[in-house]
Structure 1
Amino acid sequence: MKRRDPPKVPCKIEMDIDYISNLPEHITDKILSCLSLRDAVRTSILSKKWRYKWFSLPNLVFDNQSLLISSQDQQLIRNKLINIVDHVLLLHSGPIQKFKLSHRDLQGVYDIDRWILFLSRGSMKEFILEIWKGHRYKLPASLYFCQKLIHLEIFNCLLKPPSTFSGFKNLKSLDLQHITMDQDVFDKMISSCTLLERLTLMNFDGFSKLNIHAPYLLFFDIGGVFEDVYFNTTNNLAIVSIGLYATAGYDQNLPLGTPGNMIKFFAPLPRIQRLEVQSFFLKYLAAGKVPERLPTPCIELNYLSLRINFCDRAESLAALCILQSSPNLQELEILARPDEQAAEGIDARLSEEYLRNCPFNQLQLVKIVGISCARQELNFVNFLLTNSPVLEKMTIKPVSANGGCELLKELLRFRRASVLAEIIYLDP
């Protein structure tokens, strides 16, 4: 009998599942949003379904990380940069929510004008332009028509809006650094951005008076050379960091009968919670009459940082005024300017003021940096220790190691109102 082969059983073919191509859209969008533009474009080789996904990226960031252009020829770099941006904008589909252009070799690129014109026709909400080299770039008029903007960040640019410009009605965050603009342009821009919550100003030219009219402003960070600062309708302002880079530029001798800068500065800030007084701004606050306490205390102020010259009597009095007007202060940072010496004939002693009974019932953390063990500095440390019943830690870092042992001996002798207070000495 002829042997028969067993019947053939149809084999089951298992197909590999393409998990990458079948990811939910919200997952692919999340993945693309976490990648640099360069890597997002590379995902087009994953599969057919991924080939065009990056076309609809809502956030376009052109910076050193996403544009790795290796060349020593500056003209070649600019040409490649222009080609990349042109290519992405040409292929892009869908709304552009964020556009950032920041490259270390970005200079002399006049194509920025037409890119901004293209973006102004959409619904862009965030625009960041950083020109790291060359002269300040004049922003085109088309930028001022981007009325959907919520965040605007400009570096090394000239701002000269058209006469019809009436502000960015939806803008909540404005960051201007190394910019040039006229005084009236600055005043109008700030007051017309009625929803502004965050304002950063660093190194500016063309205006010297800071007129801040912003009813919803919460955060204000400024550093530069200016003559005066006026807050108007800023009752919600909670965080302020302000530095005056030079003592010249404002009148320290105010006319008789006018309130000093101290009262003028704090009166419109009833809800301030964090204050950083940097560079020489304490000298500005010390101009005019400095009261023992502010007429209205800073009830909500819980963090204070002061840059001070202890050899300047006026600055020391200004610092004391702020401290004695902050009953709920919890954290204090003092940054001394030891490089400045008291002028000959100026009495910098404030022993009586330091020893005045002024309890800091909420103060827990103190950090003092840059002191040189001068008597007025040690008096200030003693003043804090004897008036802080809940102090937990005081960190002291002198400007140099000279006299470190003597400073430690002095600190050990000081009476402490808090039995839990720990003094930490850091080597410079």
Structure 2
Amino acid sequence: MSVMKQHIPSNFLCNAELEVDDISNLPAQIVDKILSHLSLRDAVRTSVLSSKWRNKWVTLPNLVFDNQSLLISSQDQTFIKNKIVNIVDHVLLLHSGPIHKFKLSHRDLQGVCDIDRWILFLSRGAVKEFILEIWKGHRYKLHSSIYLCQKLNHLELFNCLLKPPHTFNGFKSLKSLDLQHITMEQDAFEQLVSRCHLLERLTLMNFEGFSDLKIHQFHEHIQSCYRLIGLYVNPGFDKNLTLGSAGNLVKFFAHLPRLQRLEVQSFFLKYLADNKVPGRLPTPCDELSFLSMRINFNHLDECLAALCLLRSSPNLQELEMLARTEEQSTLRTVASVMKEDYQNCMFNQLRHVKIAGITGLKQELNFVNFLLSNSPVLERMTVKPASVDGAWEMLKELLRFRRASVQAEIVYVDP
């Protein structure tokens, strides 16, 4: 029995060859655009497309080693550690050209000594963004060669120990600094911040190494960041911290006129509210458009501090307030005093408000009523109570409040 030879049309072969040629001969800027939208893992896999794509990925300027790029299906921590190290080593060995961004963040990443080698390698180039997030184990002591990276404009660290050398004069190009769950001596932090003169965005969350006795000096060194436009503060202060000198609120904002985003977490508002709180700041925050505060509505001075910030932010567009439900003891009679402070204040740019953690206390509802009745362009207020207890009565009370904006809607979110 004869076997029939299958005939493949010549036009089909031509079309297939053309398609291969199209992929192989794409302009360099198109190839770079495609690779920039892929994870590092997928970018490496493009090597199989054609011989011309085989080494395209090795010139990627942004190297991101995260859960998406490092897919490791194992519960063996030793195997996971070795796999991560081998992959990073392999990529850095084959890489050619400048590295502008280096991010290492994997859910199973621990502070291994191999990170020292990678930082040393990067310090010899011109890395601009460095992100290191250690999700497991003890604090990783950041290798000293990181302080040689003078081209850095963004530095983000999680679960690290920082000990800059005494001769360190700051990052001359740094614009964004994000420090979360870090250990650092206060003197070193003060030196770091005060010598990064181009700093625009600063995030501080749960750092260790600051003494209560010196915590009042914190704002003095923030003031050196004249270009600062974004600030997130959650230092993990204890609610019984030793407060500093009078007028913290005024001093803190005295040299931050360009601030555009501010997040005040933990007990930092309590610190700012210490002693005398003015009705308005001497220098308004004209550029502040986003404000987030964690607040104890039962604390008179914190409420006054919040009102001061609101009055001093004429262009505020977004407001988030989270009630600290862990402090429910009323320190002073709030409601009777606050009625006078609610007068003569309009928020002509405020469009979105989120309030969470409230329990329906009178002073909380007074604050909500104040915002609704003085925000003529408000579009949405989202309210999420702390619990279901009394939530229905609180919702009925909220719906009774007069709204200055005819377009304002109240969105109730179940706790």
- Give the match for residue 126 of structure 2: 123
- The question of whether the paired residues in 2 share the 8 Å contact of 1:209 and 1:227 is answered with no
**Structure 2 letter corresponding to 1:242:** V
What is the CA–CA distance in structure 1 between the aligned matches of 2:109 and 2:176, rounded to whole Å? 24
- What is the identity percentage for the equivalent residue pairs of Structure 1 and Structure 2? 66
CA deviations 1:126-185 (Å, max 9, x no partner) are: 222222222222222322222222222222222223343322222222222222222222
**The one of 13, 29, 33 aligned to 1:30:** 33
**The one of 131, 147, 150 aligned to 1:147:** 150
Question: Offset of 1:288 from its aligned partner?
Answer: 1.0
Q: 2:332 aligned with 1:360, yes or no?
A: no
- The question of whether the paired residues in 2 share the 8 Å contact of 1:186 and 1:207 is answered with no
Structure 1 or 2: more helix by fraction: 2
**The one of 329, 335, 350 aligned to 1:350:** 335
Q: 1:66 aligns to what SS in structure 2?
A: coil
What is the CA–CA distance in structure 1 between the aligned matches of 2:58 and 2:414, rounded to whole Å? 55
- Give the match for residue 73 of structure 1: 76
- Give the match for residue 171 of structure 1: 174
- Give the match for residue 245 of structure 1: 236
CA deviations 1:298-347 (Å, max 9, x no partner) are: 3444443332222222222222333333444444433223342225xx43
Question: Offset of 1:68 from its aligned partner?
Answer: 1.9
CA RMSD of aligned residues (A): 3.2
- Counting only pairs closer than 5 Å after superposition, residues 329-408 of structure 1 correspond to structure 2 as 329-343=316-330, 346-355=331-340, 356-362=342-348, 363-408=350-395
* Equivalences, count: 399
- Give the match for residue 262 of structure 1: 249
Show structure 1 runs of 5+ residues with no match: 1-10, 212-224
**Structure 1 letter corresponding to 2:145:** S
TM-score if structure 2 supplies the norm length? 0.83
Q: 2:305 aligned with 1:325, yes or no?
A: no
What is the CA–CA distance in structure 2 between the aligned matches of 1:161 and 1:267, rounded to whole Å? 28
CA deviations 1:59-104 (Å, max 9, x no partner) are: 2222222222333332222223222222222222222222222233
Question: Offset of 1:360 from its aligned partner?
Answer: 0.8
What is the CA–CA distance in structure 1 between the aligned matches of 2:128 and 2:347, rounded to whole Å? 45
- The question of whether the paired residues in 2 share the 8 Å contact of 1:260 and 1:289 is answered with yes
Relative to 1, partners in 2 of residues 1:39 and 1:360: Cα closer, same or farther, differing over 3 Å?
same
- Give the match for residue 279 of structure 1: 266
**The one of 186, 200, 204 aligned to 1:201:** 204
- The question of whether the paired residues in 1 share the 8 Å contact of 2:134 and 2:159 is answered with yes
- Give the match for residue 108 of structure 2: 105
- Give the match for residue 189 of structure 1: 192
Q: 1:340 aligns to what SS in structure 2?
A: coil
Relative to 1, partners in 2 of residues 1:78 and 1:251: Cα closer, same or farther, differing over 3 Å?
closer
What is the CA–CA distance in structure 2 between the aligned matches of 1:81 and 1:390, rounded to whole Å? 51
What is the CA–CA distance in structure 1 between the aligned matches of 2:175 and 2:353, rounded to whole Å? 34
Relative to 1, partners in 2 of residues 1:55 and 1:181: Cα closer, same or farther, differing over 3 Å?
same
Question: Offset of 1:110 from its aligned partner?
Answer: 1.9
- The question of whether the paired residues in 1 share the 8 Å contact of 2:61 and 2:97 is answered with yes
Relative to 1, partners in 2 of residues 1:42 and 1:283: Cα closer, same or farther, differing over 3 Å?
same
Relative to 1, partners in 2 of residues 1:264 and 1:50: Cα closer, same or farther, differing over 3 Å?
same
Question: Offset of 1:413 from its aligned partner?
Answer: 5.0
**Structure 2 letter corresponding to 1:350:** A
- The question of whether the paired residues in 2 share the 8 Å contact of 1:310 and 1:348 is answered with no
- Give the match for residue 280 of structure 2: 293
Q: Over alpha carbons, which structure has the higher Rg?
A: 1
Relative to 1, partners in 2 of residues 1:56 and 1:360: Cα closer, same or farther, differing over 3 Å?
same
